[in-house]
Chain A
C-alpha cells in the first residue's frame, strides 16, 4: 500500500449530485460527492446499502437509469494517450451518455464489474461472444484475432480450459468462474480505471479471497486504478490504499486506509468500525449496532444527514446546517462540525 506517485489524479469527482425525480418526491441519491482517484491505486468506497455508492459509480460511467440524472458537479477524467485522443482531461458529466466519445471511454478506459455474477451475462449468448464484442467494439481487430485475445484473457484470469469455456453459456459456469469471466471482459481493452461494485458480495468466502487476489495481481501487472465499492470493511482493509466513507449520498470521511481504520474521526466511521464483530470478543458480549435506521429516501433529515443517529449530536448546529469536508491530517478529511 504505497502512496500515489503520480501527481495528477486519474479521476477527479467534484461536488457530484445525481437526483431521481419522481411523482412522490426527489431522491437525492448522490448529494455533493467529491474525491480523487490516482493511477495504480485502489480506492475503497464504503457505506451502508442505499448510501449512493453504486449510483456514484454509474454516474461516472453515465449509465444511470431514468429518472435519475446528474444535476450538478464535474467528473474530470484523464484519458489515456494510446486511445486515439490525446492525454487530455474530459468532464464526463458534460458528455451525452450515448455519445461516441462517452462510449469510447466506457468499456475501454473505464470498465465496470458488479455484483450479480448470476445474471450479469446474457443468458442467450455465449461468454466468448460477449467478450469478443467488447474487444471488437474498441479495437480494430478481426474476429479470429479477437477470439484469440478472448481465450488469452480468460486464461489470464484463471479460467481453466478457456478454449472450451469461450463457447459456453454463462449458466454453465460456476459463480466464481462467472465473476472471473466478467473481470476478463472488463479487462479486455486494458482500462486505466476498473470500477468494482460489490464484486465479491454474492460469492462464498473462499471464492471471494481468490477473486480479490486476482484483482490485486492484475492491478500490479497492468497498473490500473481500482475503485472498489463495498460495504464489507474487511475487504477494504485488505485491498484499499485510500478510503471514502459515504452516508446518504455524501462523503463523510476520506483518507488513507490506515488513518481511517486507526484514527477514524467521523462519528459514523467510528460507529461502523465499532459495529464489526470481533473474533477476540468475550463470549456473550453484545454487538454494538448503529442506533436508528437509514432514513427513507424521501424523508431526508435537515442539516447533517447523520444527525438523528449521531452519538455526538449537537443540537442547534447539526440539524440546521450541513458540514463540508475539511482536512484534518495528511490527505485525511472529515465532514463534521466536531472538527470545525
Chain B
C-alpha cells in the first residue's frame, strides 16, 4: 500500500513539474522580455525605473540567459513565495490573488461533494430500478448535464433568475459581505450562495458519474455473489448496499480523481459568467492584458491544487479498496 501511495506521489511531482514548464511557457510566449515591458509600463504612468533597478530585475529573472536558466531562477523565486509582480495591478501577484484562490478551492470542493452526494444514490437507484420512470428521468437529466456546456447553463440560469425572479443569482456573496473580514456570518453567506455554482459546475460530472455507477452496478448485480447474499436471508437493501455497491464503488472512486481537473477547469469560465470572486475572471483579465506573471502563476497554482486534490483522492481510493492493499494495481 505504501508503495502505491509512493508511486502516486512521485507521479504527482512529475505532473507539477510538467505544469510548471507549461506555465513558464505561457509566461514566456508573448513577444518582448518582461523587464522591457515593465519599464515601458512604468514609464507610461510617469514613473521611471532606474538603470540599477532594471539591471537587478534582469539578474533576478535571468534575462539574457538561456531559457532553462530563466526557468530555474523563476522556480527558485517561487519556492520562497515570490511569484513576481503583476504589471496591471502593480502589486505582488500574491496580493492580487489573495482570497480568490481559496474561494476557487471552496467552490471546486463543493462541486465535487455535490457530485458524489447526487451521483451515488441516483446511480444506484437507476441500476436497481432499471427502466423505471425514475431511471429515465435520471438519464435525461444526465444527458442535459453532458450536453449543455456549463457556462451556457450558467448563462441560462442567470437569465431566468434575472427575468423571472429579478434576482442576481451570481456572485458568492451579497455585496455587503464582499469585502468584509472573515467571520461566521460571512461563511454562512458564502454557504448560501454556493449551491448554484456548485450545481452548475458539478452537473456534467454528476451525469458522467451516474452513468458509470449505473453501468458498474448493473454488471455487478448479475454476479453470483449477489445471489449468495440474498439466499442468506439478508434484506434486499442490505444485499444491494453491502455487496454489489461496494464492489462497484471501486472503479467509481477512481474516477473521482479525474473529475477534479474538470471541475477546476470549468469553474474558470463559469465563474466569469456568474461573476464569482474566484481566480477565473482574474485569469482572463490577466491574459487579455498580457500580465504574464499573474496569468502564469494562476495557471501554476490551479494545476498544483488539482494535483494535490487528485493525490488525496488516490489515497482515499486505496483505503476503500482492500484489493489494492494486497496487490499492486
Interface residues of A (CB under 8 A from B): 61, 63, 98, 103-108, 111-112, 114-116, 119-125, 130, 133-134, 137-138, 169, 182, 185
Contact = CB atoms under 8 A, between A and B. Distances in A.
B192 interface: no
B235 A107 contact: no
21 contacts: A98-B236, A107-B231, A107-B232, A107-B233, A108-B233, A114-B227, A115-B224, A119-B224, A119-B225, A120-B225, A122-B225, A122-B229, A122-B246, A123-B323, A124-B250, A124-B321, A124-B323, A130-B228, A133-B234, A137-B232, A185-B232
B66 to A, nearest CB: 54
Contacts of A119: 223-225
Given A114-B224, A124-B247, A137 B322 contact: no
Given A123-B247, A137-B232, 19 more contacts: A98-B235, A103-B233, A103-B234, A106-B233, A107-B232, A112-B227, A112-B231, A114-B224, A120-B227, A121-B225, A121-B228, A125-B246, A133-B234, A137-B234, A138-B233, A169-B322, A169-B323, A169-B326, A182-B228
A182 B322 CA distance: 21
Contacts of A138: 233
B243 interface: yes
Nearest to B221: A65
A63 B239 CA distance: 12
A324 B232 CA distance: 35
Nearest to A182: B228
B129 to A, nearest CB: 10
B236 A123 contact: no
B230 interface: yes
Contact of B227 (A63, A125, A137, A185): A63
A134 B232 contact: yes
Interface in B218-257: 223-225, 227-236, 242-243, 246-247, 250
B319 to A, nearest CB: 13
Interface of B: 223-225, 227-236, 242-243, 246-247, 250, 321-323, 326
Nearest to B232: A107
A102 to B, nearest CB: 8
Contacts of A108: 233
A120 B323 CA distance: 17
A165 B234 CA distance: 23
Q: Which of A115, A120, A137 has the most CB of B within 10 A?
A: A120
Contacts of B322: 124, 169
B98 to A, nearest CB: 45
A122 B234 contact: no
Contacts of B230: 63, 106
Nearest to A172: B326
A110 to B, nearest CB: 9
A98 B229 CA distance: 13
Interface of B is mostly: helix
A115 B224 CA distance: 9
Given A121-B225, A122-B243, A123-B225, A106 B321 contact: no
Contacts of B227: 63, 112, 114, 120
Q: Which of A111, A123, A138 has the most CB of B within 10 A?
A: A123
A114 B227 CA distance: 9
A181 to B, nearest CB: 11
Contacts of B250: 124
A152 to B, nearest CB: 18
B233 A120 contact: no
A260 B229 CA distance: 35
A266 B194 CA distance: 74
Contact of B231 (A98, A106, A122, A125): A106
A201 B283 CA distance: 65
Contacts of A115: 224
Nearest to B237: A98
Contact of B247 (A63, A112, A122, A133): A122
Nearest to B230: A63
Nearest to B236: A98
A115 B321 CA distance: 27
B53 to A, nearest CB: 64
A89 to B, nearest CB: 19
A120 B224 contact: yes
Contacts of B321: 124
Contacts of B242: 125
Contacts of B326: 169
A3 B297 CA distance: 87
A182 B228 CA distance: 9
Q: Which of B230, B246, B247 has the most CB of A within 10 A?
A: B230
Contacts of B235: 98, 103
Given A124-B246, A124-B321, A104 B233 contact: yes
A169 B230 CA distance: 19
A157 to B, nearest CB: 16
Contacts of B243: 122, 125
A61 B230 CA distance: 9
Nearest to A137: B233
A189 B247 CA distance: 27
B247 A61 contact: no
Contacts of A169: 322-323, 326
Q: Which of A112, A122, A125, A169 has the most CB of B within 10 A?
A: A122
A63 B236 CA distance: 10
Q: 8 tightest CB-CB pairs across the interface, nearest first?
A: A107-B233, A107-B232, A112-B231, A106-B233, A103-B233, A116-B224, A120-B224, A134-B232
B318 to A, nearest CB: 13
